[in-house]
Amino acid sequence: MGKDSTRSFGTLDAYTRLAPNVEKGWAEQFVLEQRLLGLQGSRIGDSLALVESHVVESGESAEAAFGDPRRYAEEDAPEQSERSPDRLDRGWSLGIVLGLAGMLLSTFSAQAAFSGESSLHVTVGLLVVLAIVAGSAALVLLTTPVLMRALAQFPMRNWVGWMLLLAGMVGALLLLPQPVGEIGVVSALVIAGILLAVGLLLQLRAHLRGRVQEDPIVGPGEQPVRSRAGLVAVLIFPVATIAMIGFSWLLQAIVEQF
């Protein structure tokens, strides 16, 4: 196999590349179920190649030849002992939670500073927002296969759900302004910076030690190419924090013009 084709693993859709003659909907359901069952990308790629070979040789559709994709995925899966281990490292997960908390605290503190406030007023609405964010993060990190399947099968409902969640957070900030305390802006920014730094270090450590495994779907004889996706994920919260603080400053500058 040539070098160019090896590099293309991260840029081509696995279904199109490995099973171009298999109905995409069937292949997507099959791959999703096998992912939920904990199968490795190379094992899934082998199965896709087998389905593709049969479809091409027989002229049958994947549905006609193998039946329901979820049921076939379960039948095709090896014993539990042969499945891949959980690829989500605890340190990585904790880094995500700390980074998210640091990003939110930085943004709220910066907004207070841009408004000329010396303290960040902690309101009931702010606590509700933090609780919603923490709950959402835990839901995503600790999600069950059943929930993952539901999220993948109903993307439009999921989008509506996230929009309602966002609306709920905005509503909480506007409708629950009752103060419960305050913290100096400088102190809040320092704490936020510490949270971001610790979260960044935890994620970077997990990434460099290979604890967060990238597991692309590859076909028989193919070798996966290490991508920079993990490193990009490490930098998401620091970059997002800078962007949100910049947006807050721009918004405040616009408000002051009127």
pLDDT of residue 194: 96
Range of the domain at 124: 90-256
Looking at the fold, whether 116 and 74 belong to one and the same domain comes out as: no
pLDDT of residue 3: 38
Looking at the fold, whether 97 and 54 belong to one and the same domain comes out as: no
pLDDT of residue 254: 84
Looking at the fold, whether 145 and 47 belong to one and the same domain comes out as: no
Q: What are phi and psi of 251, to 5 degrees?
A: -65, -40
The total of structural domains in the chain comes to 2
Looking at the fold, whether 114 and 224 belong to one and the same domain comes out as: yes
28 inside domain? yes
pLDDT of residue 189: 94
187 inside domain? yes
All residues at 6 or more sequence positions from 235 whose CB lies less than 8 Å from its CB, including other chains: 200
pLDDT of residue 1: 38
pLDDT tens-place string over residues 68-86: 888 888 888 876 544 454 5
60 inside domain? yes
Last residue of a domain, one of 27, 58, 81: 81
7 inside domain? no
* Low-confidence residues in the chain, pLDDT < 70: 1-15, 79-89, 140-159, 210-215, 219, 221-230
Its pTM stands at 0.64
Last residue of a domain, one of 81, 107, 122: 81
Looking at the fold, whether 134 and 199 belong to one and the same domain comes out as: yes
All residues at 6 or more sequence positions from 206 whose CB lies less than 8 Å from its CB, including other chains: 89, 91, 92, 95, 212
Rg (CA), the chain: 23
The runs of H, that is alpha helices, within the chain are 3-7, 14-18, 24-36, 41-58, 62-66, 69-76, 90-114, 124-141, 145-153, 155-175, 185-208, 229-234, 236-256
Indicate the residue type of 127: L
Looking at the fold, whether 69 and 100 belong to one and the same domain comes out as: no
